[in-house]
């Protein structure tokens, strides 16, 4: 998608701190980290968000979750723990309309979920 920030990052048109990449997935450091480890995990194909998923994306979704665990291990938070969040829609403050998961860790995260 031409005007999508994350599509531009995936294409290399905007620089990013890459931490993981495979054929279908790209992951990079969040520019405004909310925890010592804050990685964004995105599919290389443009999907708007959790609300844009169809059954055809089931395997991709599973791969994203599996990649999250690999990234957590690489970032050294596999044992200490981490949180995976995907904001969907206005109430969740989704600001980039390209499906992404936030992987947060490296500190004791709040029990609050909002």
Catalytic positions, please?
A: 100
Indicate which single residue of 1, 14, 65, 92 sits in contact with Zn ion (rule: CB under 5 A): 1
Q: Name the residue nearer to ligand AMP (CB basis): 94 or 103.
A: 94
Of 41-100, which residues contact ligand AMP (CB under 6 A)? 87, 93-96
Structure tokens that stand for 56 in this block? 């055809």
As measured in angstroms, the least distance from the Cβ of 28 to ligand AMP is 6
> Alpha helices, DSSP H only, in the chain?
5-11, 58-74
First to last CA, the chain: 30
Q: For residue 6, which of 36, 57, 37, 40 has the smallest C-alpha distance?
A: 40
Indicate which single residue of 6, 26, 28, 101 sits in contact with Zn ion (rule: CB under 5 A): 6
The footprint of Zn ion (CB under 5 A) covers: 1, 4, 6-7, 46, 98
């Amino acid at each position: 998608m031409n005007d999508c920030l994350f599509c531009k990052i995936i294409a290399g048109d905007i620089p990013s701190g890459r931490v993981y990449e495979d054929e279908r997935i790209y992951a990079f450091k969040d520019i405004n980290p909310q925890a010592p480890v804050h990685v964004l995990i995105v599919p290389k194909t443009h999907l708007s968000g959790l609300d844009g998923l169809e059954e055809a994306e089931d395997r991709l979704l599973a791969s994203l979750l599996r990649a999250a665990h690999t990234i957590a291990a690489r970032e050294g938070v596999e044992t200490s723990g981490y949180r995976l969040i995907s904001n969907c829609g206005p109430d969740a403050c989704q600001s980039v309309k390209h499906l992404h998961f936030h992987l947060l860790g490296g500190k004791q995260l709040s029990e609050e979920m909002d």
